[in-house]
């Protein structure tokens, strides 16, 4: 019995040491991956990486990570030649295959990725061709306000617009209706300024836009993809 107790104590101690080493290793890896993302992407904001699953060391040996959660701030994408800043982007990467060592991986591929990106209304305004200010309009709509010249008069209108995703890479903003007050041609003039499509590029390969929702904090975009490539 005494020998059994000693074996159990030793097993508990070794198990504790393994857990401690495993947690130190995962913390180091998370920090290194975050630094690389920050440097390579030229991110203006913070980067947070959380590697899920236990034990971590066996995942490293297999070069297969169950799940990696990533949060990045200040991502710069491109919208038809115009830079558009993504305030924050969060992603859950599942079944990640890694080539090379984790601290210096050459590339990685996630079998499945889901996440959300948020674009502020100020940055959405800059992405529009007219530069008309875009704001939250309530009930999942955005409000676009601007002026047009018609028959020698400057006419200001605010319209509530819906934002949808087209073809997995394009944001489409369309006014639900334009108050015309019987003036001929006013709807066409206003829509020339308030309605626009913007194709978003610069996201990791395999990642697609899925849905857009206007909130008081900005435009939230759901993203998803399979076999999403991450450069090392």
Report the distance separating Cα 144 and Cα 192, nearest Å. 12
Task: Tell me whether residue 89 is exposed, middle or buried, using C-beta atoms within 10 angstroms of its C-beta: 0 to 12, 13 to 18, 19 or more.
Answer: buried
User: Residue 93 — φ and ψ, nearest 5°?
Assistant: -105, 125
Say which residues have a Cβ less than 8 Å from residue 104's Cβ, sequence separation at least 6. Answer: 232
Instruction: Check whether 33 has a pLDDT greater than 60.
Output: yes
**Residue 203: strand, helix, or coil:** coil
For residues 187 and 178, is the Cβ–Cβ distance under 8 A? Answer: yes
- Tell me the range of 126-140, 159-173, 191-205 where mean pLDDT is highest: 159-173
Say which residues have a Cβ less than 8 Å from residue 106's Cβ, sequence separation at least 6. Answer: 99, 100, 232
Comparing 76 with 94, the larger pLDDT belongs to: 94
**Residue 42: strand, helix, or coil:** coil
Mean pLDDT value across the chain: 77
User: For 18-32, what is the mean pLDDT?
Assistant: 67
In b/e form, how buried is each residue of 175-197, taking b as 16+ CB within 10 angstroms? beebeeeeeeebbebbbebbbbe
Instruction: Check whether 155 has a pLDDT greater than 90.
Output: no
């Amino acid at each position: 019995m005494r020998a059994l107790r000693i074996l159990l104590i030793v097993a508990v101690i070794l198990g504790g040491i393994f857990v401690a080493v495993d947690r130190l290793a995962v913390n180091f890896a998370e920090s290194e991956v975050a630094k690389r993302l920050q440097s390579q992407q030229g991110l203006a904001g913070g980067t947070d990486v959380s590697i899920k699953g236990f034990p971590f060391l066996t995942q490293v040996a297999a070069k297969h990570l169950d799940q990696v959660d990533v949060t990045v701030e200040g991502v710069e994408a491109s919208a038809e030649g115009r830079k558009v800043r993504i305030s924050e982007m969060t992603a859950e990467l599942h079944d990640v295959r890694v080539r090379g060592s984790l601290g210096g991986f050459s590339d990685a591929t996630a079998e499945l990725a889901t996440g959300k990106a948020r674009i502020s209304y100020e940055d959405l305004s800059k992405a529009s061709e007219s530069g008309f200010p875009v704001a939250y309009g309530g009930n999942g709509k955005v409000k676009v306000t601007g002026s047009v010249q018609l028959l020698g008069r400057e006419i200001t209108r605010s319209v509530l617009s819906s934002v949808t995703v087209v073809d997995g890479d394009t944001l489409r903003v369309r006014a639900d209706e334009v108050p015309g007050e019987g003036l001929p041609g006013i709807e066409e003039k206003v829509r020339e300024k308030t309605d626009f499509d913007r194709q978003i590029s610069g996201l990791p390969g395999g990642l697609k836009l899925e849905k857009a929702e206007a909130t008081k904090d900005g435009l939230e975009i759901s993203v998803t993809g399979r076999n999403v490539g991450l450069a090392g």
